[in-house]
Structure 1
Amino acid sequence: MRYDLVIFDNDGVLVDSEPISNTILAGYLTELGYPTSYEDSIRDYMGSAMHRIHELVLERTGRRLPEDFDEVFHGRVFAAFERELQPVPGVTEMLEKLAADGVPYCVASSGSHERIRVGHRKTGLDRWFAARCVFSSQDVGRGKPAPDLFLHAAREMGVAPERCAVIEDSPLGVQAAVAAGMDVYGFTAMTPAAKLVEPGATRLFAHMAELPELLQ
């Protein structure tokens, strides 16, 4: 094994949540008077922490989102998760393989701890991730594309950044991992390969079954 730690993004990598959450986000922003398509949401917000949504809307319109924006948005997302959320195809088998091979891994997600917990419980992935190996942008001052979250995860897991591999599906996440000095494996199931290569993905793969061998 060439790495001492594998760090997974969560949304779109472990749980198939990006189509759900970005559909809801685009609809809610449009409802509030900020016309946003699903494609706009994917382009501007996929892989980012909530503060980025507030910052971009303020920067572009000069107006602030409502104080209860996060609460309302998450309420809608969690309700949809309970109805629709599924694990990314092949994730369970991939995690079984990593665990059998004794490969240390963790989650470092732009989503809140509650969002991660809700998604993992609904999809059955909670059995693979004890609380000690789940990290959120809530734990650091700046979310992706800043490297803070990945550096925090590596530090808490006791591994040097250069000994980490990050599994990401968003350009912002790839930027963050590169800035942290880590190798990045870009997951192209939902994101065009070119959008992950440009910010510096080390390798690309399209199905989770490919990952264990790539990491060797």
Structure 2
Amino acid sequence: MTAVQNNTHQAPSSIQPDGHLEMVIFDCDGVLVDGERLSTNLMAQEARKYGWNISDDEAHALFTGGELAKIRDRIAQESGKTLPDDWDMMLQNRIVRMMKTDAETVDGAEDMLAAVLSLGLPIRIGSNSSLAEMDAKFAATGLDSMLERDRIHSGRDLDMPKPRPDIYLHAAAEEGVEPGNCIVLEDSDAGVEAARRAGMACVLLRDLSKPGPEWPGLLRIGHLSEFQPLLSRILESQKVAA
């Protein structure tokens, strides 16, 4: 499917013909690594253990992209039970162990990363996952050979989780690039909102038949194979305009 673009009036500079696309920032889960369903299934098991009868599908819809501390509070609220203070750390450790053996790449992730790197654009990762979790995921999938660890940023470890914009602003500051000259690849509404608040353009990776947020800085694709051609068209339009 082809990329769908909302009205770009007043969109960030990175996608404007007279603008400057200078960096790409990737989310991790659902964009590079297909581990979100494994994590939310584990959260659903925990919720049911404490008495909240939630299905795996319901948990996936509700917990995807969420902070573990807030998920702990939601389980406590829905179940009427008190969860241990270290529940989120305990679950984080279980997720890391699981990802070391079970993580898989999102379809087309390696080819997409190689294609984006061939454009000469710097890339960074900004995820709500911890660095330990991302280390496990990238090692298990082999993506660690394509990613530099000092360019991987964790909203959990920095205490600045999405939908707050801080993790993306931090990535831009580390690169020395203006936020408006960055573009983010995301799959969750929380991540899209973080990009919007950061003043960055965003590409939402999601089946085009499914609903998504709407704002001038948001583009949409249905498969990772569409991402590098989209970036190429943006760069070419900016070259022509220059």
- Normalised to the residue count of structure 1, the TM-score between the two structures is 0.89
Instruction: Find the partner of 2:170 among 152, 159, 163.
Output: 152
User: Which runs of 5 or more residues in structure 1 are unaligned?
Assistant: none
CA distance in 2, matches of 1:31, 1:19: 18
CA distance in 1, matches of 2:209, 2:81: 32
Q: Is the 8 A contact 1:107 1:134 kept in 2?
A: yes
Length, aligned pairs only:
214
CA distance in 1, matches of 2:21, 2:165: 19
What whole-Å deviation, never above 9, does each CA across 1:3-55 have from its counterpart, x for those lacking one? 11111000111000111111111111211223322233222221122222134
Larger radius of gyration: 2
- Normalised to the residue count of structure 2, the TM-score between the two structures is 0.80
CA distance in 2, matches of 1:102, 1:45: 35
| Identity level (%) | 31
Matching of residue 29 in structure 1 with residue 53 in structure 2: no
Matching of residue 205 in structure 1 with residue 209 in structure 2: no
CA distance in 2, matches of 1:35, 1:11: 25
Bigger relative contact order (CA 8 A; separation at least 6):
2
Matching of residue 188 in structure 1 with residue 210 in structure 2: no
User: Hey, what does 2:131 align to over in structure 1?
Assistant: 113
Matching of residue 5 in structure 1 with residue 23 in structure 2: yes
CA distance in 1, matches of 2:98, 2:48: 18
1:98-137 to structure 2, matched below 5 A, reads: 98-137=116-155
Q: Using a 3 Å threshold, how does the CA distance of structure 1 residues 201 and 27 change in structure 2: closer, same or farther?
A: farther
Cα displacement (A) at 1:115: 0.5
Secondary structure, counterpart of 2:89 in structure 1: helix
Tell me the amino acid that sits aligned with residue 213 of structure 2: V
Q: Using a 3 Å threshold, how does the CA distance of structure 1 residues 135 and 173 change in structure 2: closer, same or farther?
A: same
User: Hey, what does 1:169 align to over in structure 2?
Assistant: 187
Q: Using a 3 Å threshold, how does the CA distance of structure 1 residues 177 and 78 change in structure 2: closer, same or farther?
A: same
Tell me the amino acid that sits aligned with residue 23 of structure 1: N
Moved more, 51-60 or 29-38: 51-60
Moved more, 53-62 or 203-212: 53-62
Cα displacement (A) at 1:87: 0.7
Q: Using a 3 Å threshold, how does the CA distance of structure 1 residues 155 and 139 change in structure 2: closer, same or farther?
A: farther
